[in-house]
């Protein structure tokens, strides 16, 4: 299964994403992430969640190849709804969610991390929202929770990435550690939270969401509307086809060099 959930004896629930080769989640994968987080929220034995990944990177966003294999707009609509459900589940999870980020965190990955309560990253981690390259819009809402407004706009328009070390300077990443220490670092913070009275922590999570200046659910949904417009205009399909073609060409070139 690409999404697994394990509740430890200390009240820490570890949710792991593993969907090779790059953790670009299918439509079902996004809904599975949401389901795992919703389960954690309802389980009073869960005091805190660590959201992590196995493989080369934390998350590469939606599975564009799945989208291009599907006729009509079913996959697009499914991805939109799946991402919305997953991001919402992170934000509204009744307990704090700690994102343990390794390698790349792109597109939908930023949506997950931006809605998390705490972020710990490995020293090879980097973040970006390359949506404009594929004719989509989204996750600016969540990138804006990681960096100041003007930097967010620059990253969004250029599809540039930013390293975890740089995000530490903005206060959005708690700490950067070597890759082999990432899980331990995330579990350390999780342990501190799990040791508190979960009734208080759950109340605190709800209170902090209640005083948030931006409604992240409505903000992200607004962004998604422009993605639908670009798809109806045919722009997105053209750019996604180019992306898939480029990926295939790169794979064939790699095979030829072997």
Interhelix angle 74-92/216-232, nearest 10 degrees: 170
Assigned token pair, 153? 């706009």
Task: Please tell me the predicted confidence (pLDDT) of residue 129.
Answer: 96
Residues 12-27 have a mean pLDDT of: 96
Going by pLDDT thresholds of 50, 70 and 90, the confidence category of residue 67 is confident
Q: What is the mean pLDDT of residues 45-63?
A: 97
Do 147 and 170 meet the contact criterion of CB atoms below 8 Å apart?
Answer: yes
Least confident segment among 1-10, 71-80, 122-131:
71-80
- Give percent above pLDDT 70 in the chain: 95
For the packed helices 216-232 and 235-257, what is the interaxial angle rounded to 10 degrees? 90
Instruction: Check whether 117 has a pLDDT greater than 70.
Output: yes
Count CB neighbours of 10 within 10 A: 12
């Amino acid at each position: 299964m690409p999404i697994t959930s394990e509740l430890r004896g200390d009240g820490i629930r570890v949710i792991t994403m593993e969907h090779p080769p790059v953790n670009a989640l299918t439509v079902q994968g996004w809904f599975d992430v949401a389901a795992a987080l919703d389960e954690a929220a309802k389980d009073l034995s869960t005091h805190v969640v660590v959201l992590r990944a196995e493989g080369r990177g934390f998350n590469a966003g939606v599975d564009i190849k799945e989208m291009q294999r599907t006729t009509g707009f079913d996959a697009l609509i499914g991805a939109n709804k799946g991402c919305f459900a997953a991001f919402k589940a992170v934000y509204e999870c009744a307990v704090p969610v700690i994102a343990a980020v390794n390698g790349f965190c792109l597109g939908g990955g930023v949506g997950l991390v931006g809605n998390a309560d705490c972020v710990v990253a490995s020293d090879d981690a980097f973040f970006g929202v390359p949506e404009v390259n594929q004719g989509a819009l989204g996750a600016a809402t969540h990138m804006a929770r990681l960096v100041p407004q003007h930097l967010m706009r620059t990253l969004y328009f250029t599809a540039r990435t930013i390293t975890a070390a740089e995000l530490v300077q903005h206060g959005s990443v708690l700490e950067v550690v070597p890759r082999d220490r990432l899980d331990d670092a995330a579990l350390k913070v999780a342990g501190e939270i799990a040791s508190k009275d979960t009734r208080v922590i759950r109340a605190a999570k709800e209170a902090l969401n209640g005083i948030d200046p931006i409604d992240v659910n409505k903000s992200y949904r607004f962004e998604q509307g422009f993605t639908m417009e670009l798809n109806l205009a045919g722009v997105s399909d053209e750019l996604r086809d180019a992306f898939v073609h480029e990926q295939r060409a790169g794979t064939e070139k790699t095979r030829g060099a072997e």
